[in-house]
Structures are given as structure tokens and as C-alpha cells.
Amino acid sequence: MTKSLAALPHDEKSSRSGENDSLNAACLALKSFLVPDVPGVFPPEATVFIKALACELPYEMGSPLSRWSTRDLAREVERCGVVPSISASTVGRWLRTDAIKPWKHRCWIFPRDPCFAEKAGRILDLYEGLWQGTSLKDDEFVLSTDEKTSIQARARIHPSLPAIAGHTMKVEHEYERRGAWAYLAALDVHRMKLFGICEPTTGIEPFERLLARIMTTSPYREARRVFIIMDNGSSHRGAACVKRLTEKYPRLVPVHGPVHASWLNQIEIYFSILQRKVLTPNDFESLAELEHRILRFQKDYERIAKPFDWRFTSADLNAMLRKLKLAA
């Protein structure tokens, strides 16, 4: 029995109702393989068919659904006559053997930068302490930087209540807006040293104020080289940015990542921790309180944090890109 519905003989023409006939044709083809019904026993072909069906997009098989549930799959195979009756729990048990979860989904951006491997590889090498195949010296540093924009101060119209026995923390749904900060931060990925400032907006000048704070602080002030990993945001984009920064700081080496690759930037991990630990729930009486809490957390986190256990290497990246190329 084939493991793919696409391999079964079927007619691609649409039915009168506008549905694709491929699923019905596949069901008919399967029936010729099935053994007579035995109560409580399912032929192996039925298991293969259900797993193959779960790995197809429902709407491409003529269904109006966007995702399959185990109950949807059970109904579909019964409708096709693949089996006379089957429970959703049985379907779920079969799918679990191959870790198939068609009811879940994740957003994904496929690499579109023609130099994706090269740009991403440079960042991953820096995390490993390498630059152009040579190990970094003790006086060379790698910082990851970005901006967390529009962090609002939301003053709740009733005070939040702390957790008590049997009850979770309670936060009023309605709030008043008290303004917003842009939080610009940089993280030394090997030493877990943090720099951060709150600014009314992002832009070239706020970003350069952050860099000035870094480059006037020891040991970065005396460093042989300081590598700054950044995305392609408007505050620090392209060759003009590289020229402007290197003229001002000759020992600084800007390293731009590929477009749509924020997952390569370790500062995003710190931002996610900040979001969970400080900014959720959002309950701040003023911008001053919000700024104080952000910078206080930055100081406290720097004191207790250890470098992130980053294990994704250039070799892993190349293997992933080969896999995506084959999948495409």
C-alpha cells in the first residue's frame, strides 16, 4: 500500500459541487486493497491511508477545513468507506506512533535572501568564537543588538490583586494608555553583559546613543574588535550604516543578518524573557515606572544570567537549508 495519497490513481477534475475529486478517487482505489470487515480489526492499509490523509492539506483534498482533527479524519475515512467505523481515539493513537499532529501549525518564513547561508553562517561562527575561520582573541567581543518597539505603559483602572490561596493574580481588563517606550538593547553573548536605553522612538540617533554607551565602556573601549550583530531595521540598514559606524568607531565590525532571520539574534531571547518576567501583565502607572522596571530587570538579570546554551551551528544551518531545498 502506498504511503501517499498523491501516488494513488485519481482524477484531478472538480465535481459538480466544486470539490476536488482526488480524495474520493483515492478512497475508491484503496478499497480494492482492503480485506473483508472483521469486528475490532483494521487492515494495515487503513492505518497507512489515515496517516497519508493526515499529511495532506484538507482543502487540497476537497474539504472546506484548514486543519484536520482526529475526529475529522475519523469521519472522513468512514465517509469514504475505508472502514465502516473508527473512533477519534484510535486515529489519534495511530498518528502518535509517527508524531503526526495535523491539528497544529506554526508560522514559517522560508529563506529568500540569496546570501542567506553566508550571512547567517557568519553570525553562527561568531557565537562559536570564530571569524573567517580564525578564533577570536580575548580582547574581541561579540554583541547582539536590536530594538523592542512600542512598549506601552498601561495603567489599569482598578489595582491588580496578587495571588492568594485558591485564586490566581487578577488584573483589570480595562486600562489607560500612559505612553510607550522603545527599548534598545545589546547583549555580549559570551559575557552576558547588557546595555540598554529607553527612547521615545527608534532611529539612527537613538541607536548611535546605545553604541556610544558600549564603545565608551571598558573593555569594549580598548578592544581589538567589537562585532555588533544586527538586523536590517531602518535604524542600521545597509552599506551606509556600515560606513557611518566604522568611521566613528574603527574597531567596530557591523554584522548584518539575513532578512527575516531574527531567530539568529540572541538579543531576541533576552527580549522574550523580559516580556514574560516584567511586561506581562502590563500594569504600569507611568512611563517613568515602566522605564525603571525595565532597567532594574536588566541590571538584575545581568547579575544572575549565564551565556545562552546556543547549539545551532553553521553545519546545522547548511543541513537545514538542504532539507528545505529538497522539500521545496
SS3 187: strand
Enter the pTM of the model. Answer: 0.78
Residue 24 lies in a domain: yes
Q: Which of 320, 299, 323, 317 is nearest to 127 (CA)?
A: 317
Give the lowest-confidence range in 2-11, 150-159, 219-228.
2-11
- The reply to whether 141 and 71 lie within a common domain is no
Give per-residue pLDDT as tens, 142-167.
999 999 999 999 999 999 999 999 99
Output the nine-digit C-alpha cell for 44.
494495515
Residue 101 lies in a domain: no
Give the lowest-confidence range in 20-24, 30-34, 73-77.
30-34
Give per-residue pLDDT as tens, 253-299.
999 999 888 889 999 999 999 999 999 999 999 999 999 999 999 99
Residue 252: the pLDDT is 97
Give per-residue pLDDT as tens, 70-89.
999 999 999 888 888 999 99
Residue 113: the pLDDT is 85
- The reply to whether 24 and 136 lie within a common domain is no
pLDDT band at 24 (very low <50, low <70, confident <90, very high): low
Question: Is residue 6 pLDDT above 60, yes or no?
Answer: no
**What is the biggest distance separating any 2 CA atoms in the chain, rounded to whole angstroms?**
81
Beta bridge partners of 167: 164
Give per-residue pLDDT as tens, 88-143.
999 999 999 999 999 999 887 778 888 999 999 999 999 999 999 999 999 999 99
Residue 310 lies in a domain: yes
| Helix ranges restricted to H, the chain | 22-31, 44-54, 70-80, 88-96, 116-127, 204-215, 238-248, 267-277, 287-304, 314-327
Residue reference for cell 469486528: 39
Question: Is residue 30 pLDDT above 60, yes or no?
Answer: no
Question: Is residue 2 pLDDT above 50, yes or no?
Answer: no
124-132 long-range contacts (CB < 8 A, ≥24 apart) are 124/264, 124/312, 124/313, 124/314, 124/317, 125/314, 126/189, 126/227, 126/229, 126/255, 127/189, 127/266, 127/310, 128/313, 128/314, 129/190, 131/227
Domain total of the chain:
2
- The reply to whether 155 and 271 lie within a common domain is yes
- The reply to whether 126 and 209 lie within a common domain is yes
Task: Residue 215: give the domain boundaries.
Answer: 116-324
Residue 13: the pLDDT is 42
- The reply to whether 154 and 302 lie within a common domain is yes
Residue 111 lies in a domain: no
Residue 108 lies in a domain: no
CA 167 to chain centre: 32
The rounded distance, in Å, linking the Cα atoms of 293 and 187 is 18
Residue 260: the pLDDT is 86
Vertex 267 angle, CA 282 and 143, to 5°: 145
- The reply to whether 77 and 201 lie within a common domain is no
Question: Is residue 35 pLDDT above 50, yes or no?
Answer: no
CA 24 to chain centre: 37
- The reply to whether 144 and 218 lie within a common domain is yes
Residue 22: the pLDDT is 57
- The reply to whether 237 and 318 lie within a common domain is yes
Q: Last residue of a domain, which of 63, 96, 129?
A: 96
* Exposed/middle/buried for residue 103 (C-beta within 10 Å: 0-12, 13-18, 19+): middle
Q: Tally helices (H) and strands (E) across the chain.
A: 10, 7
Alpha-carbon radius of gyration of the chain:
27
- The reply to whether 89 and 121 lie within a common domain is no
Residue environment code for 198-237, b if the CB has 16+ CB neighbours within 10 A, otherwise e:
bbeebbeebbbebbeebbeeeebeebebbbbbbbbbebbe
- The reply to whether 68 and 203 lie within a common domain is no
pLDDT band at 310 (very low <50, low <70, confident <90, very high): very high
Question: Is residue 29 pLDDT above 60, yes or no?
Answer: no
- The reply to whether 66 and 193 lie within a common domain is no
The rounded distance, in Å, linking the Cα atoms of 237 and 235 is 6
Residue 324: the pLDDT is 79
- Determine phi and psi for 278, rounding to 5 degrees: -120, -45
Question: Is residue 39 pLDDT above 80, yes or no?
Answer: no
Output the nine-digit C-alpha cell for 147.
530594538
Average pLDDT, the chain: 88
Residue environment code for 169-195, b if the CB has 16+ CB neighbours within 10 A, otherwise e:
eebeeebeebebbbbbbbbbbeebbbb
Residue 296 lies in a domain: yes
- The reply to whether 163 and 276 lie within a common domain is yes
